[in-house]
């Protein structure tokens, strides 16, 4: 896996003393304080960078709000951020996607989660000392961003794009975009280690669904959380033509977009 996107616990453990490597814990604050955390990690809970009222950009918090979060956590634009949660990385992946969208150049997902880290390395309940900084976000231009809206998705339906639905089977069968394939985001996780499966196994799983690097790919779920994890995994595997439908099925249905329903024989 590309270490500029996903890093192992060993990678992080060897760099905890590097002041330019900043670890972000996106679990609830009570988990950070009460259960413990990776040494030196700062707490930026998941609900602090989701804005349900932001009708223009789905659930993104806004560049200024996100910049304030990072600045208050003592994170500078030049820092390397490594994010983790305790839910196989799905909430941390949303943080990664958000940071990238707002122009942070070096942000990575910890392979595994807090429980995976805790299998090998020490944790702490010590509260880190934080020196707030002024952080200025530099949001990506629309033509640089993987995030797309309804019109772009509608246009992609007319092309030979692969629409990837990362939700549960029941959700998929109830309503989905036309021609979509289902790829549960959790299929990439090894249940025993809580980490990503080996690269060759991941590539085989994806190829079995027709999700290959030579295809144009559109990811969606319900509210763009689960596809964040799949997006990070595909990026780490070298996929380059991946669109991230931020509004996902929620926006699609609100616009009366065409859907299919029912079981699929290949499922």
Q: Tell me the C-alpha to C-alpha distance, in Å, between residue 261 and each of 89, 159, 235.
A: 29, 21, 29
The Cα–Cα gap between 239 and 242 comes to: 7
The angle, 0 to 180 degrees and rounded to 10, between the axes of the packed helices 226-236 and 90-101 is: 70
Nearest to 95 by CA among 24, 3, 1: 24
The Cα–Cα gap between 114 and 108 comes to: 15
Q: Which H or E run contains 164?
A: strand 162-165
Q: Write down the catalytic residue from 110, 221, 224, 227.
A: 221
- Asked about 162 being catalytic, the answer comes back as no
The Cα–Cα gap between 199 and 247 comes to: 29
Q: Which residues are catalytic?
A: 221
């Amino acid at each position: 896996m590309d270490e500029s996107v996903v890093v192992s616990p060993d990678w992080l453990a060897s760099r905890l003393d590097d002041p330019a490597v900043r670890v972000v814990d996106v679990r609830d604050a009570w988990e950070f304080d009460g259960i413990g955390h990776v040494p030196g990690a700062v707490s930026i809970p998941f609900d602090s960078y989701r804005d349900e009222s932001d009708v223009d950009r789905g659930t993104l918090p806004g560049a200024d709000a996100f910049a304030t979060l990072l600045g208050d956590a003592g994170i500078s634009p030049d820092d390397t951020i490594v994010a983790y949660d305790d839910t196989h990385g799905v909430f941390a992946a949303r943080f990664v996607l958000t940071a990238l969208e707002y122009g942070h150049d070096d942000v990575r997902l910890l392979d595994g989660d807090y429980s995976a880290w805790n299998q090998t390395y020490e944790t702490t309940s010590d509260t880190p000392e934080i020196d707030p900084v002024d952080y200025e976000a530099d949001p990506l231009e629309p033509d640089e961003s993987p995030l797309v809206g309804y019109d772009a998705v509608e246009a992609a339906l007319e092309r030979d794009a692969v629409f990837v639905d990362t939700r549960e089977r029941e959700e998929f069968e109830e309503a989905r975009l036309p021609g979509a394939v289902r790829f549960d985001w959790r299929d990439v996780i090894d249940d025993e280690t809580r980490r990503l499966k080996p690269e060759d196994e991941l590539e085989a799983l994806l190829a079995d669904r027709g999700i290959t690097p030579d295809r144009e790919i559109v990811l969606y779920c319900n509210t763009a959380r689960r596809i964040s994890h799949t997006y990070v995994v595909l990026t780490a595997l070298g996929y380059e033509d991946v669109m991230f439908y931020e509004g996902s099925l929620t926006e699609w249905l609100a616009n009366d977009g065409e859907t299919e329903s029912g079981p699929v024989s290949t499922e």
